[in-house]
Structures are given as structure tokens and as C-alpha cells.
Amino acid sequence: MALLPPLNSLRAFESAGRHLSFSKAALELSVTTGAISQQIRTLEEFLDIKLFKRRSRSIVLTEPGQIFLPLLSEGFTRITEAVDTVRRSQRDGPLTISAAPSFTSRWLIPRLCKFQARHPEIDVRIDASSRLVDFVREDIDVGIRFGTGEFEGLDPIYLFSFDLIAVCSPDLIRGSNGLLDISDIADYTLLHNEDANTGDSWPDWGMWLATAGIDDIDASRGIFFNQGEMIINAAIEGQGIALVGNVLAAGEIEAGRLVQLFETKLPVRLSFHLVTSRQKARSTKVTAFREWILEESAYLRAD
């Protein structure tokens, strides 16, 4: 291992280089200006390189100093993050899970009691939101994210994909002849999903009808929702016919609150993934949740 200069000298240089001021560095590190100057001389002697050009009332970084400063600053940032992550992982805090409202209410919550039964020592906190979170700086341990599987800076694990199916409340078609043919959909209100988190590649009614061989229904009309959870609720309330993920609608279909109309299915190219930071992935509570959710969702990867 290469011999390293004293840590205090590195801290003094990083602070002075950031502020371009020995006095501001001294204030930040709670030492005297003379101590900062001495530490930087020690570092320059160790490296045998001049890091600053001293002027009458200011200092500037030399070319080697300009190269050294951002690398050192990044190193201190990584050390700070590592220390904070280790401290947080040892706290007796809850496992905090970030997931979209539709996934949380339709898939996760009905199964969460199984995780708690297996790990009663782990408290759970749910952040039902589709917002992007900073897994390093925020108190979020794991997330369930919908996408291609490419999540910068995170370790993703594939959970499952699904198909879109047409569903509605049984009350919507009860008392009439029902939907005898897909073309009968023209007589009902279409419920559309405009959730921004699904992206432009999200299949729509036009694509579903084309898959079913129908081209004479205006698929651009109906009621539009900006959250996937709302479209399921609207369908349950009899507001119209919705395209929803078969996995997320399975519980409502089994309970009789929704019925699937016809056999047409439209595959969705995006998938659900478990994501976390590389540091938090090693914590005991995250490991326990990862093992459980992979086991719980295994039936959806069986094909």
C-alpha cells in the first residue's frame, strides 16, 4: 500500500482549495490560519509539489493543485457517505420501502403480513410515492421501481413483468346483455392511464384494440387519470372500462370487484424491479426483505 500523507494535511488542503482562503479553511476546521498554512506546507513537502501560488492578498491553485482538489473532494464525500451509511445500517430504525401507490396497495400490502410474520423484529415504513429518491442521502432503504431495469447508481433486481387486460366492474355490464363482442366496447367509457412515470412506451387503448383486431373504435376519448391507482378505483366504481396490469388487478378480480373482459392481453415491455444503493444492499434488514420479496414474487417469474 502506498504511503499516504497525514489526514489533517489533506483536510486542510481540501478546505483551503475549496474556499481559496486559508482563513476560511481555518474557520471551517476550527483551527488557526497558521495551522492551516503549516499543514499545507507539510503536504507540499510530502508530495514535493507546490499546490498553491501565494499572492499578496489571495491564493490560487497551481496546475497540480487543480488536478488534486476535485479528486480529494470526491474522496472525502465518499468517506462521509460510507460512514453515514454504516451508522444508519446499525440503527434500530424501520425498513423504509419506497413504491408507487398502485404497486403498494394492490400487490405489496396484501402480502406484507407474511414478511412481518417472518421478521417480527423488523418494523416497516412505507413511502407510497413514485418520486425519485436519493438512496444515499435519504432515509430510504429499498424501492420498487417500474422501468427497463437501468437505474443509474443503483443495484436493480428483476421482480416481474405483466400484461394489460381490459377490466370493469361487474355492475357495469350487469342487467344488460353484457359485452358479447369486443366491438361492444364502443358503447362504454374508456378509462385511460396518463401516469407520467410509465413513460411514452406505455401501451394505450389504441394498441390494445389493434391487438384484438378492432380498428373502428375511437380510442382517444374517455376519462384520463395521471395515476395508475386511480384508474383501478374508477373501474371498481363503475366509471368505465380500464386497461390495467393483470398482476395488480388479480386481487380485485378474485374478490369479484372487477371482471376481465375477453382474453386479449397486451404485454408491457417495462417491468418491476427491486432497487437499492450498493451500500444499503448489505444491511441485514434489506437482505431480509430482498430474500422475501424474491420468494413471494417467484410465481410471476415461473414462465
What gap in Å lies between CA 152 and CA 134, rounded to an integer?
Answer: 11
CB atoms within 10 A of CB 301: 11
At 278 the three-state DSSP class reads coil
* Dist CA 239 CA 241 (whole Å): 7
Which among 136, 155, 152 has a CA at the least distance from the CA of 275?
A: 155
Q: What is the pTM (predicted TM-score) of this model?
A: 0.66
Q: Which fold has domain 163-267?
A: D-Maltodextrin-Binding Protein; domain 2 (3.40.190)
Q: What per-residue confidence (pLDDT) applies to 202?
A: 74
List, for residues 151-208, the tens digit of each pLDDT value.
Answer: 877 888 999 999 999 999 998 887 655 666 788 888 899 999 887 565 556 788 999 9
- 3-state percent helix, strand, coil for the chain, nearest multiple of 5: 45, 20, 35
Fold classification of 7-90 (topology level):
Arc Repressor Mutant, subunit A (1.10.10)
| Confidence (pLDDT) at 85 | 64
Q: What is the pLDDT of residue 175?
A: 61
Burial 218-237 (b: 16+ CB within 10 A, else e): ebeebeebebbbbbbbbbbe
Residues 6 or more apart from 253 whose CB is under 8 A from it? 167, 259, 260
Q: At what angle do helices 22-29 and 7-19 cross, to 10 degrees?
A: 130
**Model pLDDT, residue 279:** 80
**pLDDT (0 to 100) of residue 93:** 80
Helix axes of 22-29 and 33-47: crossing angle, nearest 10 degrees: 110
Two domains, one topology: 95-161+270-301 and 163-267: yes
- Name the stretches of the chain with pLDDT < 70: 1-2, 84-92, 175-180, 196-201, 303
What confidence score (pLDDT) does residue 147 get?
Answer: 84
Class of domain 95-161+270-301: alpha beta
Q: Where are the domains of the chain?
A: 7-90, 95-161+270-301, 163-267
pLDDT of residue 132: 76
pLDDT given at position 109: 95
Predicted local distance difference test score (pLDDT) of residue 198: 59
pLDDT of amino acid 252 = 95
Q: What pLDDT is recorded for position 185?
A: 87
Closest by Cα among 249, 271, 218 to 110? 249
CA distance 261 to 43: 74
